[in-house]
Amino acid sequence: MSVVAPHQQLSCTFCKKSQYDVKKLIASPDRLNHICNECITQPGKLKFISDRPDRQQTVRATLSVRVSAFLRDLWSSPSGKPFRCSFCQKKRCSVGFYGSSLMDIQAQICGDCLTVCRKILNDEAGEESYASGFDQAWNVVARSRDGQPVSPTLRPLLKAVYVQSLSQPLNPIELQKAIEDLLQFLIGEGRTNANCWAVDLFFANSQGWERDWAEQGLPEDFHDILAMMGEALHDTVQHPEIAKNYGCLPEQLLERVKHFRGNSR
Ligand SMILES: [Zn+2]
Ligand SMILES: [Zn+2]
């Protein structure tokens, strides 16, 4: 399951709200059905249907569990399609199924899929809260130097390192890649005094960070490289000999990061 990209025009299968009227829409793996954040989180928006609406109660009352399970599998929805979770296609779920409270909508979602959807929403909310920490830190460090502004391209590169270094569980491959991308930029078109200063300050004072990266328990390699970026990277353009002395030129740092490969894993 995945969150729908903003440019697609889609609506929630269960409440029919357009993606523009809800905060998040999650697509089923086959992308034929969608569920919005409201249907996922607001109690009462979906109606609980055990397995077999209408006749379920009488079947349960008169037949053994095994027989009713057998009938449940045979049961088809009025549309003629077998009763399944519209997201994972399971026919049975111990938690039961939920359907739309609107008339004539034949989709249903199982309790397990709802749990996964809630988790997706929570993870996204977590990333958004990192984002506000990043914005604060960025505003502190992204200042012009000698009338030269920080490149707009720097922001997403730095943010990727930030998000990756705080993500739980840590993905070392993604973090390494984010650091490499940032350093590549500083080696090439982004090698300006303003950019090098901004990156240096960002890692030197983690003020405004959601959490201090230094306390993240990052693997030693990563911790060291982020610490080094906050040492003498700011000297790269105006005093390259000093930066070089500390091993802090972007190309020196990149060399180190490339050595992580296969080493810390
Ligand atoms: Zn909905
Ligand atoms: Zn399901």
pLDDT digits (tens, 9 = 90+) for 220-263: 889 889 989 989 999 999 999 999 999 999 999 999 999 886 55
Q: What is the mean pLDDT of the chain?
A: 83
Q: Which two tokens stand for residue 153?
A: 């391209």
Find the range with the poorest average confidence among 27-36, 77-86, 149-158, 169-178: 77-86
Q: Which ligand is nearest to the CA of 46?
A: 1
Q: Which ligand is nearest to the CA of 37?
A: 1
Judge whether 25 and 9 are in contact, CB under 8 Å: no
pLDDT digits (tens, 9 = 90+) for 20-40: 899 899 999 899 999 999 999
Q: Which two tokens stand for residue 139?
A: 């505003």
Strand partners, 46: 100
Interval between CA 223 and ligand 2 midpoint (Å): 40
Comparing CA positions, the residue from 106, 1, 136, 111 lying closest to residue 48 is: 111
Top-confidence range, 56-70, 92-106, 121-135: 92-106
d(CA 205, CA 254): 21
How many CA within 13 A on the CB side of residue 165?
31
pTM value is 0.54
Decide if pLDDT at 53 tops 70. Answer: no
Decide if pLDDT at 114 tops 60. Answer: yes
Residues lining ion ligand 1 (Cβ < 5 A) are 12, 14-15, 36, 39
pLDDT digits (tens, 9 = 90+) for 170-186: 889 999 999 999 999 99
d(CA 67, CA 75): 12
d(CA 39, CA 23): 11
Interval between CA 53 and ligand 1 midpoint (Å): 21
pLDDT grade for 189, boundaries at 50, 70 and 90: very high
Q: Which two tokens stand for residue 254?
A: 């990149």
